[in-house]
Structure 1
Amino acid sequence: MTALIIWANASFSQVVVGSGTNPSNNAMFSVVNNEDNAAKSKGMMIPTVNNETELPLYNASLPDHFTRDPTMQGMIMYRKDIQRVVVYDGEKWKPTFYESGGRTTRASMNPATPENNLPSVGCILIGCGEKDVPFGFYNTTLDGDNLGIIDAQGTVNSNFSNFTFKESGFYKILISLKVKTSGIHVSPPVISFRALKNGNVLARNDVSLNEAILITAGANRVGTMEFLAMFDKGDQLKVQVSGGVSILTVADVYKIVPTDGTFISIEKL
């Protein structure tokens, strides 16, 4: 049996297992593998459980299945059933990362929205208006809310949000909007996509809706915007659109059309 070498420096409360040399002065506890081949290499086993019901603080009677204990925040264990390391955040146990598509919310617009109620912005020579996009759970085939962040009413609420994040972390956002224009141009019409976090612009993309036609009337185009962002628990997100004006635009109206090309996808990374 390979002997373990334990080295401790009481003045700094540092413990090293497997070596007489501390690999980092900033580490309180280090496990070092000095072997250079598979036969002799050794790893570290963290506590394991078979499934969710064996995790500390499990309580089936609670909505999220766990009793809250902030003193345990940061504790880690390994769940065999999902083959993931899980961490306790002070309220519940959650995986440290997710497979692609496993933690995604997709929302769309109500396809039954009358033409005169569609989100629209008007542009003239002096400027453009702006409008919130009312995303919600409307496409029962494609939409899904694995993150549990779609606001209950399924539209922009009084807090200027479609989505309220339940977990802090990095998210990938994809916004796709089908836009109908009804103006006359001698340059490509441009619409501005904006993602607002807690009422402030987080990301913006000016999308050219038609790069080939010099004069456009009644054009329909799909524009997209994709970005990564950090959200804290409780942060709110909404999507807003505005038009782009130049001296070559006489007048224009941009309408967001609820089709398969109009949706938002939010994935937790």
Structure 2
Amino acid sequence: MKKIILILMVVAQYCVNAQVAIGGNFVSTKNIVKVQDGTKGVILPFSNTYTGFPKYNNASPDQFNDYPNLVGGLIYNKADDQYYKYDGYAWNPARQIQGIYQPKGSRLGLSSGITIPCISFGIGFCFAGTTPTYLAPDDKSQVLVDNLGLKSTGNVSVKQNGIYDVGVSLGFTGGSFGAQIGVTEFKLTLQVKYTASSDWETVVSKTNYSIVFIVDTQGNKTSSFSHTIFLPAGAELRVVPSISSTSISGGALSAYGTDSNSISSYIAARLIKAF
């Protein structure tokens, strides 16, 4: 009986301190599993598309259900050739500049949009006198967080000198009706006001197009881009949308707007290096 107890004690002690080594016999108390091989790789779970990810739910605002027990999970998406990490709320792609738990990042949603009316008679004209406001309340289920404190009273302003990776996205909704054939241009411009007394300066623009044939029902478009830029403390950011039409028209009316859905419309910034 004493021998059995002794054997059980030795086995229990071994199990408590056991290390697993794959590809070699060197183990360390610093890890539980060690993979040591310079010629072979490790294949993690993968999916052909994000709709096959665990907890996918198209009805959810961020397309995934919340599940704290899956925090830290990794999965490879073959569709866009990158890994995704689960943060308790959604699967976030590795090549992104925003995330709920990114301490040096913010992702702001659209709190108020604008309407852009257009009229065409031979050539198209559109009128946009205001800019959308990216000051929506934080909402982790929609991946909206302001860890950089960019939201100020009525504007988006930088609080610290540094190099930032800024991403902008804006969804356009609506369409046109009339006798016209041509192309509608959806343009998105990021502007910066470096000091309170300076003018707004254009940093970068992105254009998307919709082909018009008699009736434009393809108004739902999204323009987006990312840009790396140095921003001083106090600099303000804004997004200027514009629409123009190049078409042959005998007369047409259009009404476009901005999509408030945070999947389509947001401004995100990540502090790469502070000064």
> What TM-score does the superposition give when structure 1 sets the normalisation length?
0.51
Count residues with an aligned counterpart: 158
- State the SS of the aligned residue for 1:180: strand
Amino acid at match of 1:200: W
Residue 266 (structure 1) aligned with residue 269 (structure 2): yes
Decide whether the 8 Å contact of 1:170 with 1:231 is kept in 2. Answer: yes
1:123 aligns with 2:124: no
Q: Secondary structure at the match of 2:246?
A: coil
Partner of 1:196: 191
Percent identity, aligned pairs only, is 13
Give TM-score, length-normalised by structure 2.
0.50
The alignment status of 1:180 with 2:173, answered yes or no, reads yes
User: Which residue does the alignment assign to 1:137?
Assistant: 136
Q: Which residue of 1 aligns with 2:40?
A: none
Give 1 or 2: higher helix fraction: 2
Write the distance in 2 (CA, Å) between the matches of 1:135 and 1:99: 15
Does structure 1 retain, via aligned residues, the 8 Å contact 2:189–2:240? yes
Deviation at 1:189, TM superposition (A): 1.9
Structure 1, unmatched stretches of 5+, are: 1-97
- 1:127 is displaced (CA, Å) by 3.3
SS at match of 2:210: coil
Deviation string, structure 1 residues 109-138 (Cα, Å, up to 9, x no partner): 23xx6xxxx411223346332331111133
Q: Structure 2: which amino acid aligns with 1:107?
A: L
Could you tell me which amino acid in structure 1 is paired with residue 173 of structure 2?
K
User: 1:213 Cα deviation (Å)?
Assistant: 7.0
Matched ranges for 1:159-238 at <5 A: 162-184=155-177, 186-198=181-193, 199-210=199-210, 215-217=215-217, 219-238=219-238
Give the whole-Å Cα distance in 1 for the aligned partners of 2:98 and 2:114. Answer: 34
1:246 CA drift (Å): 2.0
Say whether the 8 Å CA contact 1:175–1:264 is kept in structure 2: yes
Query: Cα–Cα, structure 1 residues 170 and 248, in superposed 2: closer, same or farther, change >3 Å?
Result: farther
Cα distance change on mapping 1:266 and 1:99 into 2, 3 Å: closer
Partner secondary structure for residue 246 of structure 1: strand
Unaligned runs of 5+ in 2: 1-96, 194-198
1:253 aligns with 2:255: yes
C-alpha distance in structure 2 between counterparts of 1:247 and 1:212, whole Å:
8
Q: Which has the higher strand share?
A: 2
* RMSD over aligned Cα atoms: 2.9
Instruction: Specify whether residues 163 and 224 from structure 1 end up closer, same or farther in structure 2 by C-alpha distance, changes over 3 A only.
Output: same
Whole-Å Cα distance in 2 between the matches of residues 187 and 254 of structure 1?
Answer: 17
Q: CA deviation at 1:176?
A: 1.2
Q: Distance in 2 between matches of 1:190 and 1:134?
A: 22
Change (3 A) 1:196 1:188: same
Match for residue 151 of structure 2?
A: 150
Deviation of 1:239 after TM superposition, in Å, equals 1.1
Q: Structure 1 residues 248, 206: CA separation in 2 closer, same or farther (over 3 Å shift)?
A: farther
